[in-house]
Amino acid sequence: MWDAASTGERGAPDREPHRPAPEGLGGVAAETLGAIQKRGTYRRMRTLQGPQAPRMEVEGKEVLLFAGSNYLDLAHHPAVVEAAARAARELGCAAAGSRLINGNLAIHEALERELAEFLGTESVLTFSSGYMANLGVIPTLVGAGDAVVSDALNHASIVDGCRLSRAEVRVFPHADADGLAAVLGDVASFARRILVVVDGVYSMDGDLAPLAEIVRCAKRYGAMVMLDDAHGFGTLGARGRGTAEHLGVERGVDVFVGTLGKALGSFGAFVAGPTVLRELLVNAARSFIFTCALPPPQVAAARAALALIQAEPWRREQLASNAARLRTRLADRGVSTAPSTTHIVPVVVGESQVAMELCERLLGRGFYAQGIRHPSVAEGTARLRITPMATHTSVEIDALASAVAAELARLPGNA
């Protein structure tokens, strides 16, 4: 099981065991925020202005944006914006209900058919977010008496979905097929059903799951395979189908989770698979049943963006080229981006305070590359998480690499 301390859960080791807890909301806030501030992980939100694009205003200063997930730069594409505006004019700004009551609009069904056709699956069902998709799917597939086996670096939504399932939860070392086999051999002795869950692209390291080995191992034990490809869908593969297509193992994935809010520049998520999976989720996934349907403008935007990623493959090709150039330029300056092989490019610096100060200094130079720290990553592995877009220029990529290297050289011990 996960260690509560490693995921930043309130109450795990910061609470003193024998001191009475302060009462009320003020007490909760004081205790929890005090512990967060003590360990140096207090968060605040930045204010950005303008459309999501290679250049934005961050707290009043124009900078080059290398901190988003609008990988293909479709969030403000004229065709996507017009599709959303037309849907708002014709259908309104909300579905105004759950899919099972009054919210199942023809536009939802159209998007799901188009996604299924694009992915080559029998069916698709949309969810309000990727987080809600994972919270709905995992407890639907496994429960008490079953086992769910999860990569150690899986996204928080997978972690929480596993916890909600009431299944026996086992974690295998990141991207370790032998470790997975050992865990599967153990749980196979008692579990009725086994679900193996992995990310496709790991959102803080930029590496890929070894899907071929994972699928082979899972099938050996009769386990289902669930792939959360939030960062791979639309960006990887010959047609943009994602990590499984990129690695040639699409047929081995039983449940595919994708997002509409990254490569497609819209909002929401979806689950793809056989028709029986869709029927199962419609009837049993609580995070689908008990929530409003996606707003028509977002659905229309996703449909327009899906058409664009098929018509304009240069976007994912240029994204890959830009990421490769960034990794190369940083390596030329002695900066490691391991283990990244994708458009998520980490520069690990170690201490949280150092990573956040580095982020601020880069902002001062005109580059926004977000600092990431515990609990989003393990203690001692704080980093810059750099995400280029397809539409960044080579000059912009090179300028960022130079700025990062220059600021790293200023750190204590590097001067």
Amino acid identity at 127: F
The full 3-state SS of 138-205, as one line of letters, equals HHHHCCCCCEEEEECCCCHHHHHHHHHHCCEEEEECCCCHHHHHHHHHHHCCCCCCEEEEEECECCCC
- Residue 212: CB atoms within 10 A of its CB come to 14
Distance CA 108, CA 161 (A): 25
Strand partners, 255: 226
Amino acid identity at 324: A
Pairing status of strand 194-199 against strand 147-151? parallel
Cα–Cα distances (Å) from 330 to 136, 240, 312, 398, in that order, read 40, 27, 28, 9
- Residue 388: CB atoms within 10 A of its CB come to 28
User: By the 8 A CB rule, do 167 and 146 touch?
Assistant: yes
Specify the DSSP element, H or E, that contains 368: strand 367-368
Distance CA 68, CA 27 (A): 35
Catalytic residue IDs: 203, 231, 262
